[in-house]
Structure 1
Amino acid sequence: MNTAIKDVVIVGGGTAGWLTAALLQKVVGTSINITLVESEAIGTVGVGEATIPPIRLVNQVLGINEAEFLRETKATIKLAIKFENWRTPNDSYFHTFGSPGKSMAFCHFHHFVNRAKHLGHESTIWDYDLNYLCATQGKFAHIKAQDPVLDLPYAYHFDASLYAQFLRRYCTKLGVTRIEGMIDSVQQHPSGDIAGVTLQDGQQINGDLFVDCSGFRGLLIQQTLGVGYDDWTHLLPCDRAVAVPSERFDKTVPYTRAIAHKAGWQWRIPLQHRNGNGLVYCSAHLSDDEASHTLLNNLDSTPIGDPKIIHFTTGRRRKQWHKNVVAVGLSSGFLEPLESTSIHLIQSAIVRLIHLFPHQGIDSAAVDEYNQQSELEYTQIRDFLVLHYHLTKRDDSQFWRNMQSMDIPDSLAHKMALFKQNGKLFREQNDLFLESSWLQVMVGQGIEPEDFHPIANNLSQHQLMGMLDKMRDVKREPLTSLPSHDEFLMHFL
């Protein structure tokens, strides 16, 4: 399609639709017209309430005031995810947004911790992680330190429906055209490209480029263009979730909880006005009624709604950009929210589109590059999720026994073997998760490196212990002056 792109039509609202509209309008909007079609009669999945740090960069690009954002979306701060019962029942660990200590040239900090452990020193990588220390003590503030060792990376928990409304108001002010209505039919050019959509009231909306944010059904990318779907349930067999909100706790912790159960896991997300709760599970091992019962019995606060069942198939569209349609959000694929990547996948899809925006017309090279990058991103996140399940010692249900014995991707097996041998970690190109993330999950799930990098031997035992003690003191020093998470929110808002 060689037509210059002037009219962009976004099909569907929610977080995917309105975030697409916001970024396109802010970055490319002077040269294109953006129209978003949505219907109030169509609900959104709305469980993507936890995020990862790149969302802060998106907010900065959009010029969003953080205090206003926190107020309007009832948001709280997120420093980490606490994984409970994953390796064994009653076992827990944190995956934080920080990193332990301070790495040296050619040698990550954890090699020094590992050498100290071989010498009988009782410490863990989390003793040197400021995010962990703040999360476990319920503290947070914006730290303005010159030393990067005191960085405190963070993200947010927020109400997804309020976030979509916030973005909708933002977009309306910027000039995005919103049209209310249900789509009745889709028109195509002889080439197969989408020409336009017709609403139930007869209104015709034509465009040059269409962004499919229609959710799981994929109205344009799948129902119309039929690109196909790569099903990954053989690696991630959970295929349903049940969600319900509950009353907030008196104290809001600055982290997400991911609590493993006999056939899946439960999320608990603290917001200013309520808790977000859900249970992701495998229907082959747990019925919908059993899942609802499990969730309701593990809320720890009174439910304020009825449980909602969500069906999904883990995987991705074989092409996330085909002809003149780009799929964003659930229409492009689904990975369970174990590492809070759902909203990030929306962000990265839009940023990728902006980088490759077909101003003078769609060309195959840009489409191929977009699809290659999308496939790589989904695959890398998928492997990271598989890591959590496969590295389990639980044998209390057939579900967990299956996860232990499953065949895993060769790339993941290689990464695990390399780390177990001598603690080495290598970040693949464009991998969303840094070495510190892989480190925390592998150690948290029970992989103990058999050796460490020889650079760690450059220090004498006395120097090593002194360095570790000093680093622990440096990481702990800010805690004395930081307010609690709730105190921060109270004063900042």
Structure 2
Amino acid sequence: MNRAINSVVVVGGGITAWSTAAALKRRISVLEVVVVSSPPPPDALADRMINTLPSIAEFHSDIGLSDEDTVVRARSGLRIGTAFKGWAEGLPDYMHAYGSYGVPVAGVAFHQLWLRHYYPRGRPFDSFAPAGEAGYALRLETEIYRQLIHDYSLHLGVVEQPGDPVDVELRGADGSIEALLLADGQRIEADLFIDCTGPAARIRSRMADRFDDWGRWLLCDRIIVEAGAPEPDKPLLDEITATAAGWTWRSSSPSATVTGSVFSSAHSADVEGANPIRQGRLSEPWVRNCVAIGDSAVMVEPLEWTNLHLAHSQIDRLVSMMPDAGFAPVEIDEYNRQCNAEADRVRDFLCMHYVTARRSEPFWKDASPDELPPSLAHTLSLFAERGRLPYYEEETFARDSWLAVLLGQGFLPRRIDPLADSVTAEQVEHALSSRRRRTPERLAPAQPSYRGSFLQMGQNAQP
């Protein structure tokens, strides 16, 4: 007879592990959830990057946390997008903001109207993005945030078991995990084991699998992260600047300014102090009764801050697609299909930045190979013809995010949709004016800073 999964062991002590535990216990309260906790490794970017995507608000809502909890009490900062500098020589810097750009008119997509009426006049595409309309993302104070999720998980009934996992005991019959073995000799049994240990995947790696390496498309394999004093008056845009061998970033939250560098060791003479990163994913994040979450399943550079988002997305699928203790292969296969499809499109989105960049150094030539992932090659080919983008079911980034980068870096279609000729510039301006009248002023700050936005949000809350 089929029976429900009763017990779950989550391995790892970072944000990813405690987020997994909180979601499971909150949404399937009858589960017995134990977290075998140990500090996350330096290369666990989902646990250590401060920047997130707007989707984090939905995850917080799903597990029962409010803005007062996750912004004010956790001292998080706000962010509305990223400013890209130096990615297209000869063109101005551009912004990738979250939300829609412009408005369609008479059924014609706005970017087609921009190409017809505004591009010839030199008005940049990102000037039509009302920053903040789609909601804000967060910059986390990672240790405070981790403590918040940790304490909330314990409040929900999760049990913490500090320990160092050293091996697993496999069942001879089917190769699933019978028990987790700790360095102190303890043996912990469960129905389901979740690996949140970072890129090494210390538990999931005990079960055979193939790693799909993306190094031929994403050349950056080193990362350096440094933290300094906060800059409270910095705008709510991160700065990502292209360099000869990769890119650097600067991001300021209310408690710290974080800078970093991501680069290719093959194109840089100095790699001292850098941590290695291997970009790619497991071909099967879930095998039998063991599932890898976050960096244990997929590892990408933090170019668009997708690391924690991918973990949250995997957690959401885990909860909604939870099988019974029989672990039917067809159900696990569907989970893997969806997670891999989303990861692959994130890979495409990041790779697109390099392929469409306009720089002359050897790294940038090598970062735009002739053979692209088929899904990205199709996307770029379709867009290059008449400015259209294909639909993929498991997309992290909306169409306007793709457009922000493509058009910001000067990747223009060969032809404009003929329907754009049927809409006059006056009609477009009227539609834009109507939208501005409907958009509250607070949703469209020019360059908001933390001092105003953060304090306004927290003025009635007790930290």
Same fold, TM-score > 0.5, yes or no? yes
State which of 256, 260, 264 in structure 2 corresponds to 1:274: 256
Contact kept in structure 2, 1:84 and 1:90, CA below 8 Å: no
Paired position in structure 2 for 1:425: 389
Paired position in structure 1 for 2:56: 55
Paired position in structure 2 for 1:39: 38
Is structure 2 residue 366 aligned with structure 1 residue 366? no
Distance in 2 (alpha carbons) for counterparts of 1:481 and 1:277: 24
State the shift of 1:400 in Å: 1.0
Distance in 1 (alpha carbons) for counterparts of 2:164 and 2:340: 31
Contact kept in structure 1, 2:43 and 2:199, CA below 8 Å: no
Paired position in structure 2 for 1:161: 143
Is structure 2 residue 82 aligned with structure 1 residue 99? no
Matching residue's letter, 1:127: S
Contact kept in structure 1, 2:171 and 2:178, CA below 8 Å: yes
Is structure 2 residue 310 aligned with structure 1 residue 345? yes
State which of 359, 365, 369 in structure 2 corresponds to 1:394: 359
Paired position in structure 2 for 1:13: 13
Is structure 2 residue 112 aligned with structure 1 residue 111? yes
Distance in 1 (alpha carbons) for counterparts of 2:398 and 2:281: 23
SS in 1 for 2:29: helix
State which of 396, 400, 422 in structure 2 corresponds to 1:436: 400
SS in 1 for 2:150: helix
CA RMSD of aligned residues (A): 2.5
- Count of aligned positions: 454
Paired position in structure 1 for 2:285: 320
Distance in 1 (alpha carbons) for counterparts of 2:250 and 2:97: 16
Distance in 1 (alpha carbons) for counterparts of 2:320 and 2:40: 33
Contact kept in structure 2, 1:111 and 1:456, CA below 8 Å: yes
SS in 2 for 1:450: coil
Contact kept in structure 1, 2:125 and 2:408, CA below 8 Å: no
SS in 1 for 2:27: helix
State the shift of 1:405 in Å: 4.2
Report 1:151-300 matches (<5 A).
Answer: 151-190=133-172, 191-222=174-205, 224-287=206-269, 290=270
Contact kept in structure 1, 2:235 and 2:447, CA below 8 Å: no
Matching residue's letter, 1:412: L
Query: CA separation of 1:174/1:431 partners in 2, compared to 1, >3 Å: closer, same or farther?
Result: same
State which of 332, 353, 373 in structure 2 corresponds to 1:409: 373
Paired position in structure 2 for 1:357: 322
**Which residues of structure 1 form unaligned runs of 5+?**
135-150, 293-307
Matching residue's letter, 2:68: A
Contact kept in structure 1, 2:195 and 2:201, CA below 8 Å: yes
Contact kept in structure 2, 1:130 and 1:476, CA below 8 Å: no
State which of 254, 257, 275 in structure 2 corresponds to 1:310: 275
Query: CA separation of 1:468/1:250 partners in 2, compared to 1, >3 Å: closer, same or farther?
Result: closer
State the shift of 1:406 in Å: 4.0
Instruction: State the identity as a percent.
Output: 30
Distance in 2 (alpha carbons) for counterparts of 1:283 and 1:87: 22
Matching residue's letter, 1:68: D
Deviates more, 1:458-467 or 1:446-455: 458-467
Paired position in structure 1 for 2:27: 27
Query: CA separation of 1:90/1:261 partners in 2, compared to 1, >3 Å: closer, same or farther?
Result: farther
Contact kept in structure 1, 2:177 and 2:289, CA below 8 Å: yes
SS in 2 for 1:258: strand
SS in 1 for 2:203: helix
Distance in 2 (alpha carbons) for counterparts of 1:436 and 1:200: 49
Query: CA separation of 1:177/1:99 partners in 2, compared to 1, >3 Å: closer, same or farther?
Result: same
Distance in 1 (alpha carbons) for counterparts of 2:102 and 2:438: 9
Contact kept in structure 2, 1:239 and 1:282, CA below 8 Å: yes
Contact kept in structure 2, 1:390 and 1:406, CA below 8 Å: no
Is structure 2 residue 129 aligned with structure 1 residue 129? yes
Contact kept in structure 1, 2:94 and 2:126, CA below 8 Å: no
Contact kept in structure 1, 2:82 and 2:95, CA below 8 Å: yes
Contact kept in structure 2, 1:267 and 1:278, CA below 8 Å: yes
SS in 2 for 1:49: coil
Query: CA separation of 1:176/1:192 partners in 2, compared to 1, >3 Å: closer, same or farther?
Result: same
Contact kept in structure 1, 2:232 and 2:451, CA below 8 Å: no
Distance in 1 (alpha carbons) for counterparts of 2:295 and 2:40: 18
Query: CA separation of 1:42/1:81 partners in 2, compared to 1, >3 Å: closer, same or farther?
Result: closer
Contact kept in structure 1, 2:34 and 2:160, CA below 8 Å: yes
Paired position in structure 1 for 2:457: 492
Contact kept in structure 2, 1:237 and 1:282, CA below 8 Å: yes
Query: CA separation of 1:173/1:226 partners in 2, compared to 1, >3 Å: closer, same or farther?
Result: same
SS in 2 for 1:313: coil
Paired position in structure 2 for 1:64: 65
Deviates more, 1:250-259 or 1:237-246: 250-259
Deviates more, 1:106-115 or 1:11-20: 106-115
Distance in 1 (alpha carbons) for counterparts of 2:85 and 2:437: 27
State the shift of 1:250 in Å: 4.1
State the shift of 1:41 in Å: 8.8
State the shift of 1:212 in Å: 0.6
Contact kept in structure 2, 1:95 and 1:441, CA below 8 Å: yes
Paired position in structure 2 for 1:140: none
Deviates more, 1:108-117 or 1:320-329: 108-117
Paired position in structure 1 for 2:86: 85
Matching residue's letter, 2:80: L
**Which residues of structure 2 form unaligned runs of 5+?**
459-463
Deviates more, 1:426-435 or 1:463-472: 463-472
Contact kept in structure 1, 2:230 and 2:254, CA below 8 Å: yes
SS in 1 for 2:375: helix
Distance in 2 (alpha carbons) for counterparts of 1:82 and 1:210: 40
SS in 2 for 1:237: coil
Query: CA separation of 1:188/1:462 partners in 2, compared to 1, >3 Å: closer, same or farther?
Result: closer
Distance in 2 (alpha carbons) for counterparts of 1:43 and 1:92: 32
Q: Which is richer in helix?
A: 1
State the shift of 1:362 in Å: 0.9
Contact kept in structure 1, 2:220 and 2:246, CA below 8 Å: yes
